[in-house]
Amino acid sequence: MSLHALSLPDPADAAAGADVDVLMAALDAMDSGVLVCDAHGRLLVCNRAARRELADGGVLQVGPGALLDVPGADGLLALRRAVHGAAVLRSHQLLPLRVGDCALMLSVQPLAAADGQPRALLLTGRRGLAPELAVRHIGRLFALTPAEVEVLGSLLDGVRVDEMAAARGVKLSTVRTQVAALRGKLGVKRIDDIIRLVAELPPMPGAVGRHVVSPAPSRLRAALGPQPGA
């Protein structure tokens, strides 16, 4: 076969594909859901945390034609209006969605793309202040004891000190001593300061569980528009 008969990849296309793979890996490392959709609410691409949210299906779902869906007419109408407003009218909105006992907060905002196509960026609220792996990393960083790590996780889950003591079968004073030790090791004065410190932590790669395979790079290119040099 002659060299001219070979179909060689364009170096620029290969570079753009590599950039897309790196970007998708970075998005997958985040513990907040990231979704991109068109003005009609058709899902174009999403990261791993968003796929987990969609797989759970308690509030946000994907219906026929890859359209984002919410059980219940009111929630779906609010979502469609927010997405259309962001993509077409360039509006920004914080959208609370609730289905039964399940709730989800969405940030819906316009997404600029090089091709000028109207798209919306949706960011989901975090389901917790810190995944279990992140709490363990904090424990190692600040030399917390296993009991203090357990107390920290309970505090972040909103468990009261008296409830911790009852659940663990220890005296209330024991848990209070461990909370005081936490404050000292983390360098804060109040329980609220502990929660604020953890809330300000950056997402930790690896803390988000591996789930579904990432969307094909071509779908990400379609969502973000032509990349420089492509």
Choose among 82, 52, 31, 74: nearest CA to 205.
Answer: 31
Residue 129, pLDDT score: 67
Residue 19, pLDDT score: 78
On whether the pTM is more than 0.85, the answer is no
Question: b vs e for 163-199, b when ≥16 Cβ sit within 10 Å of the residue's Cβ?
Answer: ebbeeeeeeeeebeebbeebeebbeeeeeeebbeebe
Residue 24, pLDDT score: 84
Give the span between the Cα atoms of 145 and 151, in whole angstroms: 10
Give the span between the Cα atoms of 130 and 143, in whole angstroms: 18
Residue 82, pLDDT score: 96
| Three-state secondary structure call for residue 73 | helix
Give the span between the Cα atoms of 204 and 76, in whole angstroms: 32
Residue 220, pLDDT score: 41
Residue stretches of the chain with pLDDT short of 50: 1-9, 207-230
Residue 18, pLDDT score: 66
On whether the CB atoms of residues 108 and 122 are closer than 8 A, the answer is yes
Residue 1, pLDDT score: 34
Residue 178, pLDDT score: 94
> Mind listing the pLDDT tens digit for each residue in 72-118?
878 999 999 999 999 999 999 999 998 888 889 999 999 987 778 89
